[in-house]
Structure 1
Amino acid sequence: MSKVVLITGTSTGMGKLTAITLAKAGYKVIAGMRGTTGKNQLAAGELNAIPNIEVAELDVTNDASVNNAVHQVLDKYGKIDVLVNNAGLSGFGVIEGYTIDQVKSLFEVNFYGVLRTYQAVLPGMRAAKDGLIINLSTGASGFTLPFMVPYMASKFAMESLIEGFQLELKPYGIENVSIPSGVYPTEMTNGTKTGVNADKPEILADYGEEASDRFGAMGQALFGKMADFNMNPQTIADGILELIEKPKGTRPLRFPLDAVALGADQEFIDARANIKDKWAKNYGFNL
């Protein structure tokens, strides 16, 4: 049997592209999405019609939904070889302008949603002493930017999970990877898919034009570079395929796919890893 790959958030964007790309490469793809009989019924039908793709109802914010989807896959195929955590939410606005509930909404998907899927698939992977989990992150996964702080914080937290899981799961033959992906033209960036944005209008008004002008300039720079570098979301789908097909033991913890960064992302990743190793050795242990 070919590898069984479970992907979250496949109704649009990179998740949908990844499902199609992996199915064409011969993998059995379980395309997870919420609302398969409701708002995403058309997307579910489109993917279900593609050979090697089977759509599953999966809401990463719901324990029962995640566990049910995973159990159904295990009951039918006996294994999940690869999990791709693609589902995510973006968010913009000054941090003071966010209610706590809005910040919780970001963490519910970007952090707790990832933790839920890990906990659901790991028992089977540990029993098999094999498995791969790939997580879509952001190009600034090691530092933060103004006007995106709650979103970045949720991705920081996710990166901590990935880094910790790498060390805890290594003896069980399970690998996990983060893909810092930069800015790509998808529904999350073109306004089609609403993000979890600052929702205190009185605070936003207090910050005034100075903040909105700075935010506008940053957005122009990000989206201008995205156009200049012709950032194609297919790059992410192809990168996920490349990671799956890499020999076990050769996959990096972080696999940046951001042409705009011009290598600065990899430089930052390497420097952080080296400093962490020095810190651990200074304390008398190896990681």
Structure 2
Amino acid sequence: MTNGMKGVLAMLAVCTTWGLSGIYYAQVTHLPPLEVLAHRTIWSFLFFAIVIALTGRGDKVREAASSRRTLGLLTVSALLISTNWFGFIFAIHSGRAMEASLGYYIFPLVTVVLGYLVFGERFGPWQGIGIALATGAVLTLTLGLGVAPWISLLLAGTFGGYGLVKKVLTVGPVTSTFLEVALLMPLALGYVALGPGVAHLDAHDWALLAMSGIITGGPLVGFAYAATRLHYATLGLTQYLNPTLQFAVAAFLFNEPFTRWHAIAFPMIWMALALYSLGVLRQDRRARKLAMA
């Protein structure tokens, strides 16, 4: 099996886990979203601590932690990813998984806008049309439903900002994520200790909450593995599996309402992503030709 095929299989496993994770979080809706978030942070820290120990990344962790600039950026990324995690957990708890899937559909287009605003990156006409369509889809839902899809915008914005910070970090994904959850640990432990405690949790709850560390950390390790074996365009396109599965779970498993406004907005998003993907593929093809010249 080639490295490329290994990368594709790893990415499919990663996106499938992400896409179906709503089913897992639906099992802990009897616990407050903040409590679930706190345990997700704690168990993710333990997961990554084991990975760091097994892979001998201790020196890289110490090197990253010794840089004030790196720690500052990691603090920002930690706050962004924890907000993103909370937004997704809250969406599942409040019966708005479909809105969450919309957020992850919008995310790639948000990264294009952020890249333009922060780094001055240029985007092609196809991507520009895609951004306009996505904006139209959000406005359609806002006007049709009478309220903006705030969860979608929160998830897309925080994940886009998280990717932006990761872009300027020189720390690997496993090391940086470990340090992010390490920075969040005092908050998580403090919330559990001063808030709900643990006496109300039974063995089933402990098992479910412990799984959050694997569900969070496992895909990130898999993503890092796939990223070194796939072209950027392939890596990006396979990620659409995540919101597609989230959408399917919301519509067919959770039976969330799919209104006529959703029937207008979602095809607009899908068309926007198709145009965006076309632009990415063309850029990737041109880059390969230049590399071979």
TM-score normalized with structure 2 length:
0.29
Tell which has more relative contact order, 1 or 2 (C-alpha 8 A, sep 6+): 2
Hey, which of these two has a bigger chunk of helix by percent? 2
TM-score normalized with structure 1 length:
0.29
Hey, which of these two has a bigger chunk of strand by percent? 1
